[in-house]
Chain A
Amino acid sequence: MLFYLFAALAVLSGAYMVLTRNLLYAGFSLLVTLLSIAGIYVLLYADFVAVTQLMVYVGGVLVLILFGIMLSSRVQDKSVRSESVNKIWGTLVAGLVGVGLCYTILKANISSLPWLLAAETDVLGWQKSTVQMIGIKLMTDVVVPFEVVSLLLLIALMGAAYIATDKQEL
């Protein structure tokens, strides 16, 4: 029941975000989308992913987007408008992706997937959250991708600092 509520919210706000002409409203409906997706994650026993979603996307990315929208228009203006371009290509690509997804979903024999059969049982067991498991995995099986990602973020950070520096002194 809760799942359908969150799913409907996510779909409706996502559609509103795409269709509205007002960029700021689009930003705020993105907030609703992200929140309902976080709710779906919680229902899937992925509490850590849900909170990370809130932390990174709502606390970081969304605030940055809103800041960008607000700073790029004067306060006296009504609001920033978005234009729709590439209507044909957009519909075509979206339609193809939709057909592809439908095909894959129909092809997959969902009712016999092993992890779905196991989902009825108590996934977490004695643990209270998935954090311990994620931590162990990050330090053992996937330690190289983890370190590579952190290196990438560091490079991005240095790049941002370089772009932001005042170059007149150089």
Chain B
Amino acid sequence: MLAFLLTLMLLLGIVIVLAYAERKVAAFMQDRMGPTEAGPYGSLQAVLDVLKLLQKEDIVPAAADKKLFKLAPILIFAAVFAGFAVIPFAPSIVPAGIGIGVFYLLAIISLDVVGLLMAGWGSNNKYAMLGAMRSVAQIVSYEIPAGLAILSAVMICQSLDFQEISYQQGALMNQFPGMEYDMNWLFGIRELGINTTTIGGITTWNIFRAPMLLVAFVIYFIASLAESNRAPFDIPEAESELVAGFHVEYSGFRFAVLFLAEYSMMVLVSLVAVVLFLGSWNTPLPNIGPVSLAYWTTGTVGELSGILWGVFWLLSKTFVLLFLQLQVRWTYPRLRVDQLMHLCWKVLTPIALGVVLLAGLWRLLMI
């Protein structure tokens, strides 16, 4: 219960910051000022937006399917929020450390799709329906390259447990029960003979100890943009054609919940990318001889210092990825439907399959 509340508070905080960052980054990319009036540098703008949304009248269209219309936002947010249950925030902090976390996450995210269909149908509006259809088609298609990219990381780590994958990517590896004698080698190649187990830092991150995972990371990042309906893959919400997509009929608190779910999805996919590819809560600084930067910036496991450092590194890496998502939005134009499907099935999926094969071979070099 405590984990539930803490995660919810953390998520709300991140989403508020993200909503503000979205406007400021957009302004920065377009060479304008963005919000300036509310608070210093407009920093209270996002809070005011939320307050405004909560005060608005909650309209349920007369012709809508009222039960489905009301249920859909709850289902969408619940599906996304359930994904946070398995994300490790620090060496000793994970809301639910189940052994098949990665698989669970992939499955629970797919519940989101049902919620989208429910919202689109329940609204009884052709734009909402079209938006939901496009959104679902896109999410279902892009789950395949994303899943394959995740699979290659799982093959390197030989685990479906997010916490175990996190421990493997840092100097604390031997403190995880069951991995007391495991070793990390430079680029994962044992033959090179350079043991990086105690060096830690960036040298043990997944993209470094198995370099082909860098490709997997890029594939995952592109697919995750599509899964969270972000530009350039925002045809489900294309304002110029569909007004607003599946949530066109929603207002007030229900819209706030959908908005929250959408931004939570962005945060979740970035967190997963960080945990699987970018070293999770591990520090990027390696131990260099007597200068043990990695240990200094990790803290003690189970104590406050370890928790604070873990959360700090995890969130700062996540925010870098989120910034990249915002930046991409204002850099690339929206893809057409055929381009979208071409990219998914003819470009990303074959490359991802190749990476999975390569990851399997690479694992043989690592042991």
A54 interface hit (Cβ, 8 Å): yes
Interchain residue pairs A-B with the least CB separation, the first 9? A59-B110, A129-B99, A128-B99, A54-B107, A55-B107, A51-B107, A129-B100, A51-B103, A66-B117
- The answer to whether the Cβ of B183 comes within 8 Å of any Cβ in the partner chain is no
Q: Which of A52, A63, A70, A131 has a CB less than 8 Å from the CB of B129? A: A70
Check A58–B160 contact: CB distance below 8 A. Answer: no
Which residues of A from 10 to 42 have beta carbons under 8 Å from B? Answer: 24, 28, 31
Contact of A58 among B100, B107, B129 (CB under 8 A): B107
Task: Check A51 against B113 for contact (C-beta < 8 Å).
Answer: no
User: With A47-B100, A63-B136 known to touch, is A70 a contact of B107 (CB < 8 Å)?
Assistant: no
Per-position 1/0 for A57-77, Cβ under 8 A of B: 011101100110010000100
A63 partner, pick from B107, B113, B126, beta carbons under 8 A: B113
Q: Is B22 an interface residue when CB atoms closer than 8 A count as contact?
A: no
List B85-142 residues whose CB lies under 8 Å from chain A: 98-100, 103-104, 106-108, 110-111, 113-114, 117-118, 121, 124, 126, 129, 133, 136, 140
- A127 CB contacts on chain B under 8 angstroms: 99
Given the complex, which residues of B lie within 8 Å of A3, measured CB to CB? none
Assembled-state Cα–Cα distance A62/B133 (Å): 14
Beyond A28-B118, A70-B121, A129-B160, is A48–B103 a contact (Cβ under 8 Å)? yes
Alpha-carbon distance between A59 and B108 when the two chains are bound, in angstroms: 8
Q: In the complex, what residues of B have CB within 8 A of residue A48's CB?
A: 100, 103
Q: Do the beta carbons of A131 and B100 come within 8 Å of each other?
A: yes
Q: Which residues of A contact B341 (CB under 8 A)?
A: none
Do residues B99 and A54 form an inter-chain contact, with CB atoms below 8 A? Answer: no
State the CA gap A49–B113 with chains docked (Å).
Answer: 21
Whole-angstrom distance between the alpha carbons of A80 and B360 in the complex? 48
Complex formed: what's the CA distance from A60 to B141 in Å?
11
Q: Which residues of B contact A (CB under 8 A)?
A: 65, 68, 98-100, 103-104, 106-108, 110-111, 113-114, 117-118, 121, 124, 126, 129, 133, 136, 140, 143, 160-161
- State how many angstroms separate the Cβ of B83 from the closest Cβ of chain A: 12
Q: Which residues of A contact B111 (CB under 8 A)?
A: 54, 58-59
Asked whether, in the complex, the Cβ of A55 is within 8 Å of the Cβ of B117, the reply is no
Which residue of chain B has the shortest Cβ distance to A54 in the bound complex? B107
Q: How many A-B residue pairs have CB under 8 A?
A: 68
Give 4 new A-B contacts, CB below 8 A, not counting A24-B68, A55-B107: A28-B68, A70-B121, A70-B133, A128-B161
In the assembled complex, the CB of A94 is this many whole angstroms from the nearest CB of chain B, namely 28
Chain B residues whose C-beta falls within 8 Å of the C-beta of A60 in the assembled complex: 110
User: Contact between A66 and B114 (Cβ–Cβ < 8 Å)?
Assistant: yes
Residues on the B chain within 8 Å of A31, using CB? 114
The distance from the CB of A128 to the nearest CB of chain B, in whole angstroms, is: 3
Question: Which chain B residues border A52 with CB–CB below 8 Å?
Answer: 103, 107
Q: Closest Cβ of chain A: how far from B130's Cβ, in Å?
A: 9
Residue of A with least CB distance to B164: A128
Show 9 A/B contacts (Cβ-Cβ < 8 Å), sorted by A: A24-B68, A52-B107, A59-B140, A62-B114, A70-B121, A127-B99, A128-B161, A129-B98, A129-B160
Which residues of the partner chain A approach B118 to less than 8 Å between Cβ atoms?
28
Known: A47-B98, A70-B121. A63 touches B114 (CB 8 A): yes
Give chain B residues whose Cβ lies under 8 Å from the Cβ of A67.
117, 133, 136
Q: Enumerate chain B residues within 8 angstroms of A55, measured Cβ to Cβ.
A: 103, 106-107, 110
Bound together, the chains give a CA A60 to CA B106 distance in angstroms of: 12
User: Chain A nearest CB: distance from B137 CB in Å?
Assistant: 8
B121 touches A54 (CB 8 A): no
Q: Which residues of B contact A70 (CB under 8 A)?
A: 117, 121, 129, 133
Residues of B within 8 A of A131 (CB): 99-100, 103, 160
Q: Which residue of B lies closest to A35 (CB)?
A: B111
Contacts A58-B110, A128-B99, A131-B99 given: A51-B104 contact, CB under 8 Å? Answer: yes
Contacts of B106 in A (CB 8 A): 55
> How many Å lie between the Cα of A51 and that of B108 in the bound state?
8
Report whether A63 and B140 are in contact in the complex, using a CB–CB cutoff of 8 Å: yes
Residue of A31, A47, A62, A129 with most chain B CB atoms under a 10 A cut-off: A129
